[in-house]
């Protein structure tokens, strides 16, 4: 007899789910809801991504790297830190910490986040690749972290005035997807079209 559950959803085989949904893991973000709940949501995120934003929220984020190695760039008072997250490792980001996940092709990770209360905004921050000044801090009420989050990025990259550095005039363009990441002797992120 088939299992019937009134209030619970049936269990999901994660590997099968990932294989069935692989076509939806596409740049710039590559995320898809595995579970979209009232209190929290769980995303599976497949590389390659193509992001040059720093995400900052008032909530915590939990990472679990299922397949392949990735890097999260953390921006703190001392500057930028490249944190490799290897296959099988977990990682926790406290609230208020700007972070930029970098995912090579073929990698798969899980991220768990809290459902934002109504009216709570979050940030996409873009920094100048030349002089490192803040170019734009996009603060918005993210209606949907799968569709709305990527479209907010696309809108920024397409807006010449918004995406041009006020200090040195360099444009923060739409980045190409990541081709590979070298981890040794130091982290180096190589995008499509680069060597």
Instruction: By CB under 5 A, name the binding residues for Fe ion.
Output: 128, 130-131, 133, 165, 167-168, 170
Tell me whether residue 59 or residue 170 sits nearer to Fe ion (CB atom): 170
Distance CA(52)–CA(128), nearest Å, equals 10
**Shortest spacing between CB 129 and Fe ion, in angstroms:** 8
Is the previous residue joined to 28 through a cis bond, with omega within 30 degrees of 0?
yes
Cα separation of the two ends of the chain: 57
Residue 152, both tokens? 């907010």
Tell me whether residue 105 or residue 129 sits nearer to Fe ion (CB atom): 129
Tell me whether residue 79 or residue 94 sits nearer to Fe ion (CB atom): 79
Distance CA(128)–CA(168), nearest Å, equals 9
Contact 105, 47 (CB under 8 A): yes
Which residue from 10, 15, 39 is spatially nearest to 112, judged by alpha carbons? 39
Tell me whether residue 79 or residue 119 sits nearer to Fe ion (CB atom): 79
**Shortest spacing between CB 31 and Fe ion, in angstroms:** 29
**Shortest spacing between CB 146 and Fe ion, in angstroms:** 31
């Amino acid at each position: 007899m088939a299992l019937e559950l009134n209030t619970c959803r049936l269990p999901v085989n994660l590997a099968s789910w990932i294989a069935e949904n692989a076509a939806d893991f596409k740049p710039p973000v590559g995320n898809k809801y595995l579970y979209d709940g009232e209190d929290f949501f769980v995303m599976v995120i497949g590389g390659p991504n193509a992001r040059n934003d720093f995400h900052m929220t008032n909530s915590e984020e939990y990472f679990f790297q299922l397949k392949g190695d990735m890097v999260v760039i953390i921006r703190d008072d001392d500057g930028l830190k490249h944190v490799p997250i290897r296959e099988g490792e977990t990682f926790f980001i406290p609230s208020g910490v700007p972070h930029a996940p970098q995912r090579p092709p073929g990698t798969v990770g899980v991220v768990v986040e809290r459902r934002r209360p109504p009216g709570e905004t979050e940030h996409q921050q873009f920094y100048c690749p030349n002089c490192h000044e803040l170019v734009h801090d996009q603060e918005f009420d993210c209606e949907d972290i799968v569709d709305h989050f990527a479209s907010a990025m696309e809108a920024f990259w397409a807006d010449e005035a918004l995406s041009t550095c006020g200090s040195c005039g360099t444009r923060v363009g739409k980045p190409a997807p990541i081709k590979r990441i070298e981890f040794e002797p130091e982290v180096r992120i190589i995008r499509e079209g680069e060597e």
